[in-house]
Amino acid sequence: MEISKQNKIKNFFKRYGVMIVAGVFVVAIALTIGLTLPAAQEVSTTELSFTLPMNNAEITKDFSDQDLLYNEVMNRWETHLGIDFASEDNAVYSVLDGTVLSVTNNSLEGYVVEIEHTDGFVSVYSSLSENVLVEEGDTVEKGQQIGEASSTATAEFTDAQLHFCLLKDGVEVDPNLYIDLQNK
């Protein structure tokens, strides 16, 4: 009886030994990888509270990264990776505390201010008048006036308007997801 038990054990290991060794090897690799990966990064639990870039503004063209919208000035259909605002009061405000990354001017977008915020956000204000109130490197506070909307963005406007974009980690995102535009 003792011999048949030994034969059964031998046969079992002959038949399944390779799979057992492979299984142990896979578990060892998984444990090694799991123990050597860096610890998870802490996620910011501070909720950001954006403000509107203009007071009493009307949205003249909303964000659209899927559907094409008609651009009358350029006479073409295109996505619209920002929100266009118009207001009788053309003052433009920073939507959040931050640091001015750049102040530029080009014929298509007009005067443009980019402000870097926390958590990978950058706000971009295009079609500002030449009287921009901030300079590169300035620290701005949420609600601080940075300039005035105008018609310097020749690619989009014939009247004074603001083209506002919001980027998260370098990618344009829908500002509607972060800013309460219902109370415009």
pTM, full prediction: 0.70
In a domain, 106, yes or no: yes
Contacts of 118 (CB under 8 A, 6+ apart): 44, 46, 48, 96, 97, 98
Asked if residue 13 and residue 100 are part of one domain, the reply reads no
128-177: pLDDT as tens digits? 999 999 999 999 999 999 999 998 777 666 689 999 999 999 999 999 88
Cα–Cα dist 110/84, whole Å: 14
Q: What is the CATH number of the domain that holds 118?
A: 2.70.70.10
Shared domain for 104 and 161, answered yes or no, is: yes
pLDDT tens by residue, 66-93: 777 676 766 777 777 889 999 999 999 9
One domain for residues 87 and 134: yes
- Residue 13, in any domain of the structure: yes
The answer to whether residue 99 is domain-embedded is yes
Domain count, the chain: 2
48 inside domain: no
Say yes or no: 73 and 31 in one domain.
no
Task: Give the domain extent around 21.
Answer: 1-37
Q: Do residues 31 and 107 share a domain?
A: no
Asked if residue 80 and residue 2 are part of one domain, the reply reads no
Average pLDDT, the chain: 82
What are the residues whose beta carbons fall under 8 Å from the beta carbon of 126, sequence distance 6 or more?
82, 109, 110, 111, 112, 153, 162, 163, 164, 165
Considering the domain boundaries, does residue 127 fall inside one? Answer: yes
- Residue 49 lies inside a defined structural domain of this protein: no
Per-residue pLDDT band at 48 (split at 50, 70, 90): confident
> Are residue 93 and residue 6 in the same domain, yes or no?
no
Residues 6 and 75 reside in one and the same domain:
no
Provide the pLDDT for residue 13. 65
Compute and round to an integer the Cα radius of gyration of the chain.
Answer: 29
Residue 31 and residue 63 in one domain? no
* Residue 170 sits in the same domain as residue 89: yes
In a domain, 66, yes or no: yes
Of residues 24 and 39, more confidently modeled: 24
Whether 33 and 63 share a structural domain: no
Do 86 and 158 lie in one domain? The reply is yes
119 contacts 42 by C-beta, under 8 angstroms = no
147: in domain = yes
Q: What are the tens digits of pLDDT across the range 99-124?
A: 999 999 998 889 999 999 999 999 99
